[in-house]
Structure 1
Amino acid sequence: MSDRDLELPSRRAIYQRIADEPGVHFRALLGDLDYAQGTLQYHLRWLADENLIEVSDDGKYTRYYPAAEFDETDQAVMNALRREYSRRVLAHLLTDGPLSTTELSDRLDKANSTISWHLSKLADAGLVTKERNGRSVIYEVTEPDRVAMLYTVHRGSFTDRVVDRLLGLWDSY
């Protein structure tokens, strides 16, 4: 990346925001930066066309990453960590897992169907494995070290004290 690539202050600000909060989505950028929607879209498209950022679709949001810093698996982990309840599910699985849907539902005080939806998304992304145990399905994080590392490195960009406390306990083991 040359200085010329980011010579415009607006483009530099957008890129810096993406670098500071990898996995940030369009609406968050729009809300945090003082640019019109079309201006933001133009600069994001330009940054992507110049291979300065990568674009990831997590099924709900389009998310942005600095180019070549996150492989596909890292992007999938970060996409999940950017969703509040997926982040909390992963935190519980990291600290106390493997766990069933019911156990996670009780811990998060959410309906089984809500937890099942998040677990399904995490399983589709390859972030958790599931194994039937009688009438229950037990979930476990596929790459716990990767998830914990990405959370630890980028936790300043997440605003979730519950997960910070859980993973703080996990770090002490």
Structure 2
Amino acid sequence: MDEFELDSRRDIYAAVADRPGVHFRGLLDRLDVAQGTLQYHLRELADAGLVDVSDDGKFTRYYPAGEFDDEDQRRMNALRREYSRRIIAHLLADGPLTTSELSDRLERSASTISWHLSKLDDADLVSRRRDGQRVYYAVRDPDRVRYLYVVHRRSFTDGVVDRLLGLWDAY
């Protein structure tokens, strides 16, 4: 059977291709399809090698097969999380920064920022440098992270990050 013979499967694949790194609930919200139907077709697409599945620790995320290596999937997984994306944007725009500097900029508690930074560090997306009592964070491979954000920016719809990265009027 042709994997794209069914309209619903074509629509699901198109939604994944349009928003690489989308999670199950995001697909469910976008598509007019029952939860069980979506699960079935995603499994069929994955089994056919058309969709890659990535677990970011909280969500199962979906990618068009072969378009993102493991590192880029980790980067995109982080960019798909709102506060991780905003932390990354501040680090790209003005980094390296401390937890307290990020906390002030994002108007979130230091513990919340620290939790996100810990997840970003675990995913090897940020580096840490201690200077006395302060720990400074910076984005690893900032050119690649910026590239992924710019290429897929329409799927993020985050004006805050666009402004921070100077992208508001760029396209």
When the two structures are superposed, what TM-score results if normalisation uses the length of structure 2?
Answer: 0.96
For 1:133 and 1:16, how far apart are their aligned partners in 2? 47
Counterpart position of 1:79: 77
Alignment of 1:52-63 (within 5 A): 52-63=50-61
Q: 1:93 aligns with which of 86, 91, 94?
A: 91
SS of 1:55's partner is strand
SS of 1:54's partner is strand
Counterpart position of 1:10: 8
Counterpart position of 1:48: 46
Counterpart position of 1:70: 68
* Deviation, structure 1 residue 74: 0.5
Deviations 1:63-97 (A, max 9, x none): 00000000011001100101000000000000100
Letter in 1 for 2:54: S
Identity within the alignment, %: 69
Letter in 2 for 1:62: T
* Deviation, structure 1 residue 4: 2.2
Counterpart position of 1:133: 131
* Deviation, structure 1 residue 7: 1.1
* Deviation, structure 1 residue 31: 1.3
For 1:32 and 1:153, how far apart are their aligned partners in 2? 21
* Deviation, structure 1 residue 59: 0.9
Where structure 2 has 5 or more consecutive residues not aligned to the other structure, the ranges are none
For 1:148 and 1:119, how far apart are their aligned partners in 2? 18
SS of 1:5's partner is coil
For 1:130 and 1:106, how far apart are their aligned partners in 2? 19
Alignment of 1:148-159 (within 5 A): 148-159=146-157
Q: CA RMSD in A?
A: 1.5
SS of 1:78's partner is helix
Counterpart position of 2:28: 30
Letter in 1 for 2:31: L
For 2:103 and 2:133, how far apart are their aligned partners in 1? 16
- Could you list the structure 1 runs, at least 4 aligned residues long, displaced by more than 3 angstroms after superposition: none
* Deviation, structure 1 residue 134: 1.0
For 1:35 and 1:108, how far apart are their aligned partners in 2? 36
